[in-house]
A and B are shown apart, each in its own frame.
Chain A
């Protein structure tokens, strides 16, 4: 795959949400949907949509039970360094999205990357998110998605360092990848038709919320990838941390 194609597929993520160039995201965050922006929850300015026709709950008004420990394993960062996944995720609340860069189905990987793009845009408006949230895009196609490819994909989505950190990971190969996928419960199948124009892999769209202690606290499907809802969960974890720190 050429770098041009990779950048094109990163752009699909933005077009999938109608946010090519990112201007719409910023406009939405600034309150173009008619509601007054809330400085404590700028994501609410994104407003409802046909797919997410509800108002998200108040952060901290509910709990996020621990589902299980997040998986660990050897990964490669976009600059080619070998690290343990758990070390990469340490220190921040993380949103981990498994994708592959040649996926051209706008309802799958591009959508997940597009949602992370929106979340990063929101995080630029909120220092709390910028300092505490990390976005992780992790390829399950290591044969194609080398560190170089992931770096190019990342440049298309996260060209600047403002807002939440966004890192792009892959693995050295299937042997390193499979235990991580199994631990997370991310199913990936090879399609029967290798020439499928939408790409060679079939998978469920899943994004995982990992707390600062390395535990899975929520799992989002296509039907739940509402940036407002995801960030409500992040804020709920931040409130939980604050309560623990205060000894409550």
Chain B
């Protein structure tokens, strides 16, 4: 078990660090899978922010930030307490807080807008304060702002595509907290490896990016470009050429210089990256969507980094399509969600080289994102993957479901039906709390 002191010191380093370190671990409740530079929520999360895709003919049809009350005992517990629409449908998908957590930046994958919400002034009523509409031009051609990750004073945005061929070659883009473009770092490709070892296998694709400051490294993963993620899912599956256009790599970067160090072959679109949180745990997990394999990226005693497939997720032959993973604060449990069968699976990762599934539960007919509280006691799920990839008809359930996890069983605490509420397709979740600012 890592020390609480370390976690706080690496998570925003606010002056309250020592006092908070003395609090029991169960008193802290923030998400486990965020930038280490963020201040952490130290009590029960009060709100869950849900970045939601608009659906034509459903409510106002616009993408929107939905705020759900997560305060037990509140009169509105488990209810939608606020929505903020952004004026159209932009393929709402991912986003993240800036480093002082005053803003939540949310990306649109289709036309590359970034919506900046003030979550500090009134955390229960986020307010749209800025829209960045020139991301593609300012970045030199990057399309599809996806992961938005706080670094000190700036945000690191992983793109998904480009404006030349709308394929998967893309870049990491830095913006200041004020919304000004700082730099664009194109992902290595076989013809332009930028000095990365094993650059001959580099494909230039992007998806997630996560840092491990004490080793001065970051990892990026790879998905697919605009031409695929905006295509109808069934049509894409029948298109052999389209199915070739998925990322096959994870890239290790020098965090400080933003230069790629090494490229690893990780076939089948490795998506979310989760660094372990223990102070000596120098490894990360990722899940390859198309091959349904869990991968471990780790460093040996000679400081050589490796990517190793360490477990299957469900039956890979059935293509369960793992789409999100969430690591527990003690590095012992990894939640894996699979879109096709709608299941959440818990893996015991105490031995990271030999993950072992210990639990599974069907959450819905389709399933996507998972977020867990720092103490692991609460787990939240949403249903939507992409507007054109979600299931059709009755299988197109759209929900946020909250569960209590006692180490053995998930017990549902509440659910919000996003179809019935005429909200849309819920995807990314982030936790909010007024306690961060008072």
A-B contact pairs, 7 of them (CB 8 A): A50-B279, A56-B216, A62-B259, A66-B182, A67-B153, A106-B18, A185-B153
The interface residues of chain A lying within 8 Å CB-to-CB of B99 are: 204, 221
The closest CB in chain B to the CB of A226 belongs to B216
A104 to chain B, nearest CB (A): 9
Q: Which residues of B contact A232 (CB under 8 A)?
A: 256
Binds A, one of B5-13, B334-342, B354-362: B5-13
Instruction: Report how many A-B pairs have Cβ atoms within 8 Å.
Output: 109
- A118 proximal to B (CB < 8 A): no
Nearest Cβ on chain A to B101's Cβ, whole angstroms: 9
Q: Which residues of B in the span 73-105 have a Cβ within 8 Å of any Cβ on A?
A: 99-100, 102
- Whether the Cβ atoms of A109 and B15 lie closer than 8 Å is yes
**Which single member of B9, B37, B217, B254 contacts A107 (CB below 8 Å)?**
B9
Complex Cα gap A222–B8 (Å): 11
Query: Roughly how many angstroms separate A201 CA and B14 CA in the complex, as a whole number?
Result: 10
| Given A61-B257, A108-B15, A219-B152 contact (CB < 8 Å) | yes
Mask: chain B, 239-266; 1 = CB below 8 Å from A; 0 = not: 0000000000000001011110000000
A106 CA / B17 CA spacing, docked (Å): 9
Assuming the contacts A187-B100, A222-B9, A223-B213, asked whether A107 and B182 have C-beta atoms less than 8 A apart, the reply is: no
CB closest chain-A residue, reference B182? A65
- B residues neighboring A (CB under 8 Å): 8-10, 12-19, 36-37, 39, 99-100, 102, 152-154, 174, 176-178, 180, 182-183, 213-217, 254, 256-259, 279, 437-438
A residues less than 8 Å from B102 (CB atoms): 187
Residues of A within 8 A of B215 (CB): 53-54
Interface pair B37/A223, CB less than 8 Å apart? yes
Contact B154 A221 (CB under 8 A): no
Residue from A54, A198, A204 in contact with B13 in the complex, judged by beta carbons closer than 8 Å? A204
**Cβ-based interface call for A205 (8 A):** yes
A219-B152, A223-B37 given; A56·B13 CB < 8 A = no
Q: How far is the CB of B304 from chain A (nearest CB, A)?
A: 14
Asked whether A108 lies within 8 Å of B14 as measured between CB atoms, the reply is yes
A83 at the interface (CB under 8 A from B): no
Residue A31 lies at the interface, judged by CB distance under 8 Å to chain B: no
* Given A54-B216, A222-B10, A107 and B178 contact (CB-CB distance below 8 Å): no
CB within 8 Å of B: which A20-79 residues: 50-54, 56-57, 61-62, 65-68
Query: Could you tell me the distance between the alpha carbons of A105 and B154 in the complex, rounded to whole angstroms?
Result: 25
Q: Which 6 A-B pairs have the closest CB atoms?
A: A222-B13, A62-B257, A219-B153, A223-B213, A54-B216, A187-B100
Q: How far is the CA of A165 from the CA of B108 in the complex (A)?
A: 47
Q: Residue A82 at the B interface, CB < 8 A?
A: no
Complex Cα–Cα for A54 and B12 (A): 21
A57 to B37, CA, bound (A): 22
Among the stretches A120-128, A143-151, A189-197, the one at the interface with B is A189-197
Chain A residues with CB below 8 A from B437, complex form: 189
